[in-house]
């Protein structure tokens, strides 16, 4: 068993968890970060590294992977310790600290725990299509876009009606040979501005909007996709030439062991006090998509704000005898490692 002591354990290395490390460092609190993935960045890195994000202050547009890179640079002076490819399996409460244990025999004693685990472990919702596995193996069916350049001069079919489907249609249309977006109805559950851009590209003939249709079957040879077969509500079929199918039907979320900790959980979300981001259990906080309170907005920038609230609230547990005198970062500056 590997033993560690720290001030705060952050569960989840996505953008919100990373920013919590920065906020903690600004208050001289040390962090260990645990994530089930083998890399930092959460969904931003695992599912859409090249997807542009438009609502990060001061960045008209920034790719998800670049955002993670900048967050890592921001927290580097605070020297966090990462335990990647680890899942928390046990949480033991003592009088004034917790013991957090992972499946890789890492045991960490800490004064507070911040859960920034998105909505837990995640994976794509796969469409129930016959033989889809053989097309997944060849890359003809994918659930994320790593590099936009890989889709250059290809016939791309996107299925879904949410933000991911619309955003990737906008991003891939300029490079694809053809791009079709399939949805069971003409209304999309995406940002209004993105839908407006989509409709404009449809008018210009850059995107083929195929509604109301759903995925029916796949045709190809040796796992290489040739056609996507669709069906409407009356069973009428339609074939689309396709080199790659991108189904964006959301993610399957599982809280895992977190669900057994006695937290106030409703529909896979943890209820918190909005003023402090503390859960119903003392010293445990939740931030980002997994946290819930009345009026919650699921935005990265909301999670950044919640990080600050949680860290400032956790200060009293880490330094119970030291009053917190808040200073603006313009006054305090950022801690830097001493030159060796």
Regarding beta strands 237-241 and 224-231, do their DSSP bridges make them parallel or antiparallel, or are they unpaired?
antiparallel
pLDDT higher at 141 or 42: 141
CATH code of the domain occupying 127-247: 3.50.50.60
Question: Is residue 138 helix, strand or coil?
Answer: helix
pLDDT digits (tens, 9 = 90+) for 263-295: 999 878 999 999 999 999 999 999 999 999 999
Q: What pLDDT score was predicted for residue 212?
A: 94
Q: What percent of the chain has pLDDT over 70?
A: 93
Q: What integer is the mean pLDDT of 324-336?
A: 67
pLDDT of res. 339: 38
Distance CA 285, CA 190 (A): 30
Domain extents in the chain: 2-122+251-332, 127-247
Query: Given this model, what pLDDT does residue 254 score?
Result: 65
pLDDT bucket at 260, cuts 50 / 70 / 90 = confident
Residues 6 or more apart from 274 whose CB is under 8 A from it?
A: 293, 294, 295, 309
Segment 190-198 shows an average pLDDT of: 91
Three-point CA angle 138, 141, 147, nearest 5°: 85
pLDDT of residue 143: 86
Burial of 187 (0-12, 13-18, 19+ CB in 10 A): exposed
pLDDT score, position 131: 92
Q: What would the two tokens of residue 181 be?
A: 């977006």
What is the C-alpha separation between 55 and 73, in angstroms, rounded? 20
Return phi, psi of residue 276, to 5°.
-125, -15
Which phi-psi region, left, alpha or beta, contains residue 123 (left: φ > 0; alpha: ψ -120 to 50)? beta
pLDDT at 337 over 80: no
Output the pTM of the full model.
0.72
**2-122+251-332 and 127-247 share one fold:** yes
Position 308 pLDDT exceeds 80: yes
Which residues does 104 contact at the CB level (< 8 Å), separation at least 6? 83, 85, 86
Q: What value does the mean pLDDT take over residues 133-158?
A: 92
Here the tokens at position 175 are: 């490079």
% of residues, the chain, pLDDT over 90? 74
Read off the pLDDT of each residue in 170-176 and give the average, rounded to a whole number: 95
The per-residue b/e assignment along 111-144, b for 16 or more CB within 10 angstroms, e otherwise, is bbbbbbbbbbbbebeebebeebebbeeeebbbbb
Least confident of 19-23, 180-184, 262-266, 330-334: 330-334
Encoded tokens for 20: 């919590």
Residue that is written with structure tokens 């083929």 in the block: 208
pLDDT of 121 reads 56
We find that the CATH architecture of domain 2-122+251-332 is 3-Layer(bba) Sandwich (3.50)
- pLDDT at 338 (0 to 100): 45
pLDDT band for 208, please (50, 70, 90 cuts).
very high
Average of pLDDT values for 202-221? 96
pLDDT band at 331 (very low <50, low <70, confident <90, very high): low
Could you tell me if 35 and 64 are in contact, meaning their C-beta atoms sit under 8 angstroms apart? no
Structure tokens that stand for 37 in this block: 């993935």
Looking at residue 120, what DSSP letter applies?
Answer: B
Identify the residue whose tokens are 């106030």. 264
Q: What is the pLDDT of residue 267?
A: 79
């Amino acid at each position: 068993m590997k033993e560690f002591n720290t001030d705060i354990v952050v569960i989840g290395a996505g953008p919100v968890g990373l920013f919590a490390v920065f906020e903690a460092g600004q208050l001289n609190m040390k962090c260990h970060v645990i994530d089930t993935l083998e890399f930092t960045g959460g969904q931003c890195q695992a599912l859409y590294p090249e997807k542009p994000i438009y609502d990060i202050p001061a960045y008209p547009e920034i790719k998800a992977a670049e955002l993670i890179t900048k967050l890592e640079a921001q927290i580097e002076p605070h020297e966090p310790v990462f335990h990647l490819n680890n899942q928390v399996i046990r949480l033991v409460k003592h009088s004034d600290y917790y013991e957090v244990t992972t499946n890789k025999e890492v045991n960490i004693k800490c004064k507070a725990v911040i859960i920034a685990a998105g909505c837990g472990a995640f994976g794509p919702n796969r469409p129930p299509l016959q033989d889809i596995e053989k097309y997944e193996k060849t890359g003809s069916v994918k659930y994320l876009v790593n590099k936009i350049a890989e889709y250059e001069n290809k016939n791309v079919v996107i299925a879904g009606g949410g933000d991911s489907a619309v955003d990737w249609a906008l991003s891939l249309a300029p490079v694809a040979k053809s791009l079709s977006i399939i949805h069971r109805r003409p209304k999309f559950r995406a940002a209004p501005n993105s839908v407006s851009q989509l409709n404009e590209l449809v008018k210009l003939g850059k995107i083929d909007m195929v509604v109301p249709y759903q995925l029916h079957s796949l045709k190809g040879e040796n796992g290489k996709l040739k056609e996507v077969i669709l069906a409407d509500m009356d069973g009428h079929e339609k074939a689309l030439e396709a080199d790659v199918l991108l189904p964006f039907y959301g993610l399957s979320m599982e809280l895992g062991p977190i669900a057994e900790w006695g937290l106030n959980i409703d529909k896979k979300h943890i209820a918190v006090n909005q003023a402090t981001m503390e859960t119903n259990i003392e010293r445990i906080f939740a931030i980002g998509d997994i946290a819930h309170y009345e009026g919650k907005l699921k935005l990265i920038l909301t999670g950044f704000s919640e990080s600050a609230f949680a860290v400032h609230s956790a200060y009293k547990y880490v330094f119970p005898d030291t009053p917190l005198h808040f200073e603006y970062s313009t006054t305090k500056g950022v801690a830097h490692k001493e030159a060796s």
